[in-house]
Amino acid sequence: MNSYTLLQICLFTHLTGLTLMAGTDIVEFVAFRSILKTYQTNKDAAVHQIGILSRFSVLLLIGGILLVLSGIGFLIITHNAFGNQLWFKIKMIFVLGLVLNGMLMGQKSGNRLKQSLTTGNNVKARQVEDAIRTMIRFHFIQLCIFFIVVLMAVFKFK
C-alpha cells in the first residue's frame, strides 16, 4: 500500500471520528434543549430521555479514538509536516480545550444533573433545570470549539 492510499485512509478515519464526536454533540445539544422544555411539563419523560442520552458517550469515545489514531497516522505518513506549522499548533490547543472542557465542565455538569435527578422529590425542579441549562451551555461551547478546529484545518493560515 502506498503513502497516498494510507493518507486517504487516515483522512477517512479522521473525518469519521470528527463526525461521530461533533454529531453526538449536536444531537445532545438539541436533545437537552428539548428535554428542558419537556421537563417543565412531564418530568418522567425528561428523565427517561436523559437516560437514553447517557448511552451516547460511547460514540464520543469511539470518535475520539479514531481522531487520535488517524491524527498520529497523518503525522507519521507526512513525517510531521504539519506538526511544526503555527496553525496546527494553535489547532491542537483548541483540541486540548475540547478535551479539558469535556473533562472539567462536561463531567461535572453531567454528574450534577445525575445527582439532581437521583435525589428525587427533595430537590427543587429549579436545580434540575439549571443542571440541564448547564449541559446545553457545555454542548454549545463544545460545538463552537469544534467549529474553530475545523475552520483552522480548512484555512491553514501562515
Q: Which region among 2-16, 32-46, 107-121, 129-143 has the lowest average model confidence (pLDDT)?
A: 107-121
d(CA 32, CA 37): 9
d(CA 143, CA 55): 19
Which H or E run contains 44? helix 43-53
d(CA 72, CA 77): 9
Encode pLDDT of 55-97 as tens digits.
898 999 999 999 999 999 999 999 988 888 898 999 999 999 9
How many angstroms separate the first and last alpha carbons of the chain? 32
- Give the contacts of 50 (CB within 8 A, at least 6 positions apart): 35, 113, 117
Q: Give the start-to-end residue ranges of the domains of the chain.
A: 3-154
Cell of 118: 437521583
